[in-house]
Homo-oligomer: A and B are copies of this chain.
Amino acid sequence: MSSGKIIALSGGVGGAKLVLGLSHVLPDDRLMVVTNTGDDFDHFGLRICPDTDTVIYTLADLADKAKGWGRANESWTFMETTASLGGEDWFNLGDGDLALHVMRTQALAGGQSLSEVTASVSKAWKISVQIVPMCDQAVATIVNTETGPLAFQHYFVRDQCRPVATGFSFDGIDHAIANPIAVDAFGRAPDAIILTPSNPYVSIDPILKTPGMRTAIEASGAPVIAVSPIVGGAAIKGPAAKMMSELGVPATALEVARHYRGLVDAMVIDKVDGHLAPAIQQLGMDVRVVPTVMRNLDDKIALAKDVLALVKHLKSARRS
């Protein structure tokens, strides 16, 4: 296999799981993760980057695997005291998690870019996989709902995804610029680009819609592989399936493939969705049917190996 990079586009939990699997299979310098920053927001005057942080905590082996967000062995004194002061308590910030947000907020205020801060954190916590925010400008995912637009974390955390989604928009994205580090990597003949099993609408789309990103992916010449976050009609975690139903499309891996049509060369879908393979192939995509539910590290590594086998297959098919 070549030594080109594998570039994974990732949201939070689902994406981070596959990224962790890939990190166990690939040499560190062959893996780059481009993270969604559309979920980022200001809270308590601090800049919080949930998806990037989930990837950071996962790769640094600091993540709370049970909760799917935040740090393991966390304490909660800050939130308890904030509540006693009458402060907002709908978004839980652990005491250790807070250190990252305080450090980042201070660094950003001092003129560092989000990419620079992310690199500093990775260095401090000995993460050798390169983590690249999709852009250094502020982009805010808005969930349009039947009762009006909601900032993403208000929809996702405060309102527990209860409002009925009617669509999505990305405030500030017109003024964003695809992270030059990612664009440069796309231009250096990567081996593949992986759309991890994160939410297509609110995790992967913001990355793809960042001006310059999709063009750079298409110009890379590398195969683009998507792993379906929908398994057997449900999302493993998060509101993807609920959103699809509300948008009037079936919550299936086939619809995920349709959503990505024109960009994606191959889909990885779960065994329970094997019957959808022919329909996906009719969209002009290759399909790999494997176990995609990642319950433990072995599952993550197995899925990573399956994805990399598909990369190899796609590259050799192109050569022949």
Contact = CB atoms under 8 A, between A and B. Distances in A.
Contacts of A78: 78, 95-96, 98-99, 102
A81 B100 contact: yes
Q: Which of A44, A87, A96, A98 has the most CB of B within 10 A?
A: A96
B75 A103 contact: no
Interface of A: 44-46, 71, 74-75, 77-82, 84-87, 94-100, 102-103, 105-106, 109, 120-121, 124-125
A81 B81 CA distance: 19
Contact of A75 (B71, B75, B85, B102): B75
B85 A99 contact: yes
**Total identical chains:** 2
Contacts of A95: 75, 77-78, 81, 95, 98
A109 to B, nearest CB: 6
Contacts of A99: 77-79, 81-82, 84-85, 87
A85 B121 CA distance: 6
Given A45-B109, A75-B75, A82 B102 contact: yes
Nearest to A107: B45
A236 B21 CA distance: 59
A44 B80 contact: no
